[in-house]
Amino acid sequence: SQQGEEDPQALSIQEGENATMNCSYKTSINNLQWYRQNSGRGLVHLILIRSNEREKHSGRLRVTLDTSKKSSSLLITASRAADTASYFCATASRGYSTLTFGKGTMLLVSP
């Protein structure tokens, strides 16, 4: 069963706007990761945030983590058409070597 659940399932915005995706999970984690998947391609790692971190930045990406609420958000600023993809959160639970993925958010950025 999925550990992480993304919200919304789909998001449609215009170029230049910001996109925010949320992820909720159920059990204690070691870290939480976000991945992007372009249509017909494999998943690509975007950013990782550890359980003792609250916020992390990478280029136009900003990730927050609230362990008390068991939730994370991914913000993409100044979106581009090339950001069109599915975005997945994945959790690494304590004591486990595997990642559990949510079902993803489909982001469509229109020119």
Partner 1 sequence: DAGVIQSPRHEVTEMGQEVTLRCKPISGHDYLFWYRQTMMRGLELLIYFNNNVPIDDSGMPEDRFSAKMPNASFSTLKIQPSEPRDSAVYFCASSFSLDRGYTGELFFGEGSRLTVL
Chain residues in the site for partner 1 (CB under 8 A): 2, 30-31, 33, 35, 41-45, 48, 50, 88, 90, 92, 97-104
- Smallest gap from residue 59 Cβ to partner 1 (A): 16
In angstroms, rounded to a whole number, what is the distance separating the alpha carbons of residues 85 and 61? 14
Contact, 110 vs 13, CB < 8 A?
Answer: yes
Q: In the bound complex, what is the minimum distance in angstroms from residue 15's beta carbon to partner 1? A: 27
**Cβ closest to partner 1, residue 68 vs residue 98:** 98
In whole angstroms, the minimum distance from the beta carbon of 30 to partner 1 comes to: 7
Whether 86 contacts 37, CB under 8 Å: yes
Q: Amino acid identity, residue 26?
A: K
